[in-house]
Structure 1
Amino acid sequence: MAVHPVVQRVTDRIIKRSRASRAAYLAHLDAARLQGVQRGALSCTNLAHGFAAFPANDKLVLREQRRPSVAIVSAYNDMLSAHQPFEYFPKVIKEAAREVDAVAQFAGGTPAMCDGVTQGQPGMELSLFSRDTIAMATAVALSHNMFDASLYLGICDKIVPGLLIGALHFGHLPAVFVPGGPMTTGIPNKEKARIRQLYAQGKATREELLECESASYHGAGTCTFYGTANSNQMLMEIMGLHLPSAAFIVPGTPLRDALTRAATHQAVKISQQGEQYIPVGHIVDEKSIVNAIVALLATGGSTNHTLHLPAIARSAGIIIDWDDFNELSDVVPLLTRIYPNGDADVNHFQAAGGPAFVIRELLDAGLAHEDVLTVMGRGLRAHTREPFLDDAGNVVWRDLPVQSGDEAVLRPASNPFAKDGGMILVQGNLGRAIMKVSAVKPEHQQVEAPALCFDSQEDFMHAYKAGQLDRDFVAVIRFQGPRANGMPELHALTPALANLQDAGRKVALVTDGRMSGASGKVPAAIHVSPEILAGGPLGLVRDGDIIRLDAATGSLEALVPSDVWHARKHATADLTKSHIGMGRELFKVFRDAVTEAEQGATVVPLPSPIDTTVGLHEGVDTGDTMPGSDEDFLVKTNK
């Protein structure tokens, strides 16, 4: 199937825009690769430290310097329900590595915070910056240079992007991402939303709310709504970094363990000592980044990925912006209805066909690039199959049924829920922002109303509880960008705004903060860029200004006379309370160095050129270095 002309045009534009930085990245990748095992560059003293505590047989394998050593980088902790199953994965992985004459070492752990625990709390102001911290922790884990491939254990919001950013800075190493799976289905999502709104109205008690939430988040595994964590899993699938259809197999099952063993075997297979060397830096290229954007749009995924994907791409020398998302959104149909864009959860989505069905539909419609590398080799078509166990307990993959298992949850591209992806760019004299409209009814997608300015979601909630917001208005929540306070998610606003909208009020939200994948039916322009502390015009808005937010025209405007607008000075706020306490003072370096939201809200720099005449392993014979371009590498790996 020929690639859709818009998808091709966006891809070509990204390739052109990224030419210099991508070339620099690939030069770094080539310089870091060592012919033979990576630990071959270590001295005897280095190596002795590296395997001192290893079991005797594994130590022999490492001493021989022929077989690969696989790094395990894990974000395990037992507070995150999604990550609790990772406790026993290293044991499974080490045994699986020995089955194919390799070894695996637990290279290091990374932080893993739960946004569900920190929502509305001071700790949430560390959440976005935890992504780049995880990337740095990943680099520390791999810095020992003992490893020939890596397995990454992570699922949740900032954790997978952080692990991938770290992995891309060791882009010469093959990488397989290993998910843990979702928890089983709890109470219906509509009931959860209903109780939350009743609590916001004072019509449900805290005990009733806690009982509801506990029935929803009730066991080991990922939260089952389609927020950032499960959007992560969809993107890892279409980027070819998971084994096919690994994302949504529940934990603690034979198939889940078999997939973990198979992931280990595949990591060994694609190491330089295996059958086909496939480093992660060549898997993540311009086409795979476009595929990720397309899958995000086709599934109504988390708006957080308008931050994460630019940051991930940047780490591979690829430059994307919100125009790319916006242009692709025009032609990518919405294929799923998963909460908060529908009633079903990810278990229903998986049962209906899951990521493999989505990928197949996108490929067949020419909306995704098939000619990419994945952990399975060349070609994305391998990721359109679903896993089963054979009689020996090993994973085998089979073709999906032609039809969706439930067209109320998952539809073919020929009969989508909507003709576009439902995530758009809005812009005007207030800056550029992201708006997710896949769950917003058409009659709510245009709002023109007076501004009410707040400097925090707490200030907004005080006004709401005091009964001061029973009117039409646009809530302007200021000083929520990455430089101001780390860009926390503003989930406390959702039930209150939804109640006002249900009562017949015309309401909307405009903010330089985040709402994430749980944003729902209220129109919201989020991630407004540039933020106020970077000179953004949101700081010029005053109470009573008429704000126009219009999804149909892509407008984000303050309807203020030009002379009045330009005569104003930016609003100021005392942000001290967001900079001290709960460890926030430690992250000043991030607030001072972070890029704008559209560039990923990251402290990770673009790759810069290096002198490639001297490898990173100076004095070591690096052998026949591969050609630098992705296309040369694809040709080489296809032989």
Structure 2
Amino acid sequence: MNPIIQEVTERIIERSKDSRAAYLKKIDAARRDGPLRGELSCGNLAHGFAACGKADKDSLRSMTKANVAIVSAYNDMLSAHQPYETFPQLIKEAVHEVGSVAQFAGGVPAMCDGVTQGRPGMDLSLMSRDVIAQATAVALSHNMFDSALMLGICDKIVPGLLLGSLSFGHLPTVFVPAGPMPSGIPNKEKARVRQAYAEGKATREELLDAESKSYHSAGTCTFYGTANSNQLIVETMGLHLPGSSFVNPGTELRDALTKAAAVQATRLTDLGTEYMPIGHIVDEKAMVNGLVALLATGGSTNHTMHMIAVAKAAGIQVTWDDFSDISDAVPLLTRIYPNGSADINHFTAAGGMAMLFKELLGAGLLHNDVNTICGRGLEQYTKEPKLKDGELVWVDGPKESMDPSVLATVKEPFSSHGGLSVLDGNLGRGVIKTSALREGRSIIKAPAVVFEDQFELQSAFKAGELDKDCVVVVRFQGPKAIGMPELHSLTPPLGVLQDRGYKVALVTDGRMSGASGKVPAAIHVTPEAYAGGDLAKVQNGDIIELNAETGVLQVHVDDAEWAKRSKKTADIDRHLEGMGRELFAGMRNNLTGAEEGACSLFRTQEQRK
């Protein structure tokens, strides 16, 4: 093993010793001999299979056949989730063929950040993850099931499904992807039209035409944002079938993989000899593997919160310093938009997950002594799924990259580090994604221009007030303030300023999309301004230094003046009412800081007292 990866793993294990032991004790207590439904009363059980056909009722009464829960994030407004419409029937047929039963246990909400970007609905986005976790727990609460299948892809949905699944950590659980849409217009062209529109050089019709040619069919968006980062991480953690993450929907191979995932869920139950619950797969080494893969591919910064929350759900304590140290040890092996011009389909064609596993395992960057849904170890994940004479088989993946401009090797990486840094200073702590930055953009020192609302920035940009070197501060965007919306809509105007030759950066306690990265951005700054963070002290004209090379986030104000300067307050009421936002007041109040996962699901030590 790489010594840094080993050291980070060991300190996570040591740090998590008590909490992980308590988690394992909890899920072991939930395990019983035979199916859990065997403990249900006759009335409970009759309710549980009342709508089943006679054959399924007989199977469920026998207590010898597996019952697989289907939990789905299907809706047909999200392109990524529309293919799930047909999955339950495929799953039920595949499970029936091996003599078991599958029931649709429940649906979870699924919202699209691409639709809500810059709109009131975005204020619910991050909190939807915790709602999904709770909805997953409700779906599994009936104690009718021997294993579970999780159908979800996008930004908050997979982390939410993971959080909910881990609360039922005694159940074997398989995640089932649906795959990316085929490639549309190049991402570089889409970005060009967006910036042209921001400058008034393209019409709305031209912008809509470009966006429609990019997001054009069923399937996941093809850029390397949070959705595709989710799929890559879940496969690396051993919760997908090998090579299943990025197979396009509506293909025979996709359907074959879905059926195979369903069958695999029946093999892992406590009824047989291969019992493998999700709580025994998601351990400290699996979490580190997920972080390694995320950072080796320049994945979404949203996971600096999601992975911390998911780890906590499994009794594991991960910090931003773990991210930073792993990033220093892991080379950057992919160039997928926004870190390059290729999309996720190009990555797959270049060698995809099989090649990535081969490189990371060969360099000692992944733990191989881990559990997966397919057994012990990750060698099987260096293989690719294929259909031969109608049968699903796995064959050896490519020995070298099919396109070195998209997928590199550890010996000749795009960068010696993973492109994520933790920033620290008198403004608090934050993270910055550097993998997509052009050379010379990692250090910015300029006067602050302060906004209390992301929409104020748009007005200032249009008025020409930002045509200068500046560090744009957008505060009161954190979890407790307004639910921590993504601020991806700020990327086009800031990108325009950068292209005009100005040195610009963003500092915010809000989030940026996994599709962001061109403009240097210190994001997720914590403590957030609304919760007493010093970001609330910054004034227009203060000199702010953002240095990704030394890890500094500093405002250069005399110490004595800084100490006596009062913290600004903001009127955020308009973000708390209307469009359903008033229903989330209690959840907002309970959200932890960004470095604690921005999560409302776990009681803090203070709350326990």
CA distance in 1, matches of 2:353, 2:229: 10
| C-alpha distance after superposition, 1:393-451 (max 9, x if no partner) | 23110111211111010011111000000011011001110000001112111110000
Letter in 2 for 1:320: V
Out of 171, 174, 177, the residue aligned to residue 173 of structure 1 is: 171
Out of 456, 459, 481, the residue aligned to residue 484 of structure 1 is: 481
| SS of corresponding position for 1:517 | coil
Out of 577, 580, 584, the residue aligned to residue 580 of structure 1 is: 577
CA distance in 2, matches of 1:577, 1:34: 50
CA distance in 2, matches of 1:319, 1:286: 9
TM value normalised by structure 1? 0.94
**1:324 maps to which residue?**
322
User: Matched residues, percent identical?
Assistant: 63
**1:151 maps to which residue?**
149
| C-alpha distance after superposition, 1:563-585 (max 9, x if no partner) | 00010111100110111011111
Residue pairs, 1:341-380, within 5 angstroms? 341-380=339-378
Q: Could you tell me how far 1:357 is from its partner in structure 2?
A: 1.2
Out of 433, 437, 457, the residue aligned to residue 434 of structure 2 is: 437
Q: Unaligned regions of 5+ residues in structure 2, if any?
A: none
**2:521 maps to which residue?**
524
The 8 Å contact of residues 239 and 374 in structure 1, kept in 2 or not, is answered as yes
Moved over 2 A (4+): none
**2:397 maps to which residue?**
400
Q: Could you tell me how far 1:606 is from its partner in structure 2?
A: 6.5
Residue pairs, 1:395-474, within 5 angstroms? 395-474=392-471
Aligned pair 1:44/2:35, yes or no? no
TM value normalised by structure 2? 0.99
| SS of corresponding position for 2:143 | coil
The 8 Å contact of residues 487 and 510 in structure 2, kept in 1 or not, is answered as yes
Out of 190, 193, 197, the residue aligned to residue 191 of structure 2 is: 193
| SS of corresponding position for 1:444 | coil
Residue pairs, 1:27-176, within 5 angstroms? 27-176=25-174
The 8 Å contact of residues 317 and 606 in structure 1, kept in 2 or not, is answered as no
**Inter-CA distance 537–186: structure 2 relative to 1 (3 Å threshold):** same
| SS of corresponding position for 2:413 | coil
Q: Could you tell me how far 1:533 is from its partner in structure 2?
A: 2.0
CA distance in 2, matches of 1:247, 1:564: 53
Q: Could you tell me how far 1:55 is from its partner in structure 2?
A: 1.1
| C-alpha distance after superposition, 1:65-87 (max 9, x if no partner) | 11110000000000000000000
CA distance in 1, matches of 2:325, 2:147: 36
**1:494 maps to which residue?**
491
CA distance in 1, matches of 2:399, 2:533: 49
CA distance in 2, matches of 1:395, 1:178: 16
| SS of corresponding position for 1:492 | helix
The 8 Å contact of residues 276 and 373 in structure 2, kept in 1 or not, is answered as yes
CA distance in 2, matches of 1:94, 1:341: 40
| C-alpha distance after superposition, 1:197-223 (max 9, x if no partner) | 000000000000000000000000000
**1:613 maps to which residue?**
none
Residue pairs, 1:600-611, within 5 angstroms? 600-605=597-602
CA distance in 1, matches of 2:384, 2:67: 29
Out of 532, 541, 544, the residue aligned to residue 544 of structure 1 is: 541
Q: Unaligned regions of 5+ residues in structure 1, if any?
A: 609-639
CA distance in 1, matches of 2:226, 2:127: 15
Q: Could you tell me how far 1:534 is from its partner in structure 2?
A: 2.0
**1:554 maps to which residue?**
551
CA distance in 2, matches of 1:534, 1:17: 27
Out of 301, 305, 308, the residue aligned to residue 306 of structure 2 is: 308
Out of 367, 382, 385, the residue aligned to residue 387 of structure 1 is: 385
The 8 Å contact of residues 530 and 569 in structure 2, kept in 1 or not, is answered as no
CA distance in 2, matches of 1:376, 1:492: 41
The 8 Å contact of residues 425 and 434 in structure 1, kept in 2 or not, is answered as yes
CA distance in 2, matches of 1:67, 1:56: 14
Q: Could you tell me how far 1:388 is from its partner in structure 2?
A: 0.4
Letter in 2 for 1:488: P
CA distance in 1, matches of 2:319, 2:472: 26
CA distance in 2, matches of 1:280, 1:390: 31
CA distance in 2, matches of 1:419, 1:225: 23
Residue pairs, 1:597-636, within 5 angstroms? 597-605=594-602
**1:621 maps to which residue?**
none
| C-alpha distance after superposition, 1:3-61 (max 9, x if no partner) | 11100100011011111111110011011011101111100000000000101111110
Letter in 1 for 2:244: A
Residue pairs, 1:196-211, within 5 angstroms? 196-211=194-209
Out of 496, 501, 510, the residue aligned to residue 507 of structure 2 is: 510
Q: Could you tell me how far 1:275 is from its partner in structure 2?
A: 3.7
The 8 Å contact of residues 354 and 398 in structure 2, kept in 1 or not, is answered as no
CA distance in 2, matches of 1:423, 1:563: 33
Q: Could you tell me how far 1:552 is from its partner in structure 2?
A: 1.0
The 8 Å contact of residues 317 and 607 in structure 1, kept in 2 or not, is answered as no
**1:283 maps to which residue?**
281
Letter in 1 for 2:514: G
| SS of corresponding position for 2:127 | helix
The 8 Å contact of residues 134 and 164 in structure 2, kept in 1 or not, is answered as yes
Letter in 2 for 1:245: G
| C-alpha distance after superposition, 1:578-618 (max 9, x if no partner) | 1101111111111111111001000121799xxxxxxxxxx
CA distance in 2, matches of 1:243, 1:86: 17
The 8 Å contact of residues 284 and 316 in structure 2, kept in 1 or not, is answered as yes
Out of 527, 531, 534, the residue aligned to residue 531 of structure 2 is: 534
How many residue pairs get matched? 605
Q: Alpha carbon RMSD of aligned pairs, Å?
A: 0.9
**2:230 maps to which residue?**
232
More displaced 10-residue stretch of structure 1: 599-608 or 295-304: 599-608
| SS of corresponding position for 1:35 | coil
